[in-house]
Structure 1
Amino acid sequence: MTVTSFLELLRRYPDAGITIRLPDGNDVPAHFHITEVGHLVKSFIDCGGKRHHAGSCLLQVWVADDTDHRLTAGKLLGIFERTDGLLPSNELPVEIEHEAPVLTQMPVTGCDATPEELVFHTEFKKADCLAKELCIPDFSLPGLPGQSCTPGSGCC
């Protein structure tokens, strides 16, 4: 889910409560706080030597002892309105950072929306090789026949 679609939901349902559904089907306790809205940037090189840049909007979720606290969509929208200039684009994906049980970053993948509640769904990130055509024996891409990893070839 991009920042644009996330904000559209917050604007459409300002009085709605917010639920964050974790990948295991459990919900973050309802009295959570959003303690940070951040722009996360990752620059890296893959095992095939290609450089990449990735970015996201990271919402840090914190659960405190004030169990009477509830965050509404309008309140979260107000937090976002203070981020003017922080995010380079509203097309960044939104991720949740939560201790589940260790600090974990999870993409927001969708939302079940009603005027009463916005249930944001998350997934665990998955590792992947970005240079499969160079690294996996007998793996080839259309247009790159014969590109595979052989012993001693120097690929990853």
Structure 2
Amino acid sequence: MKTHEFLSLLKENPNKNLLFEYKPGALVGANYHITEVKNITIDAVDCGASTDFWKETIIQLWESPEEIGKRDYMSADKALAILNRVDKIKPMEKDVEVKFEYSNTSFHTAQLFVNAHQVAGENLVFHLGVEQTDCKAKETCGEPVAASAQETSNCAPGSGCC
């Protein structure tokens, strides 16, 4: 999901509770805060020596230990106000992927993609998830293009590939 799409959904659903499902059946607690917005630039070289360049927006969610047990979620309108304030200070790239950085005591810190969203009653829910790592230079490494990172056997450290 692009940053502008996320912002548009917040604007279209101002009175909805803003919920984030970080793994199936598990929601970020109602005690979350938006603690950081990052404009990230990636300037990379893959295992096949190809270069790549892209940008992302990363919104960090943090659960306040002082507000454990809080039941009222942040509204989409409040989140939009926070992000608009950030945008005035440090403009966000709008046509780039938006990710959410999150962790808790039982979930490692991860940058999560938006896999889906839904309006469910009074809630605007974003379903987040991780993407598996993958060899980006399969043709160079002689790997079948359809193979996943977990199925790959030839693209191992020391193989001259990945």
Does the aligned pair in 2 maintain the 1:48–1:155 contact within 8 Å? no
Partner of 1:144: none
Q: 2:149 maps to what in 1?
A: none
Do structure 1's residue 76 and structure 2's residue 83 form an aligned pair? Answer: no
Q: Write the distance in 1 (CA, Å) between the matches of 2:56 and 2:102.
A: 15
**Deviations, residues 48-101 of structure 1 (Å, cap 9, x unaligned):** 1111112211110000122446311011111111213532x3111111100152
Residue 96 of structure 2: which of 92, 97, 100 is its match? Answer: 92
Q: 2:134 aligns to what SS in structure 1?
A: coil
1:132 aligns with 2:108: no
Q: Residue 52 of structure 1 aligns with which residue?
A: 52
1:103 alignment partner, SS class: strand
Contact 2:111 2:130 in 1 (8 A): yes
- Percent identical: 28
Is the CA contact 2:19–2:73 (under 8 Å) kept in the aligned structure 1?
no
Distance in 2 (CA, whole Å) between partners of 1:9 and 1:135 is 41
AA aligned to 1:79 is I
For 1:111, which of 104, 111, 117 is the aligned residue?
A: 117
Q: Is the 8 A contact 1:13 1:115 kept in 2?
A: no
3-state SS of 1:78 partner: helix
| AA of the residue aligned to 2:15 | D
TM-score normalised to the size of structure 2? 0.78
Conserved? CA contact 2:7–2:80, under 8 Å: yes
* Cα RMSD for the two superposed structures: 2.2
Distance 1:140 1:116, change over 3 A: closer
Greater radius of gyration (CA)? 1
* Aligned residue in 2 for 1:66: 67
Gaps of 5+ in 2: 147-153
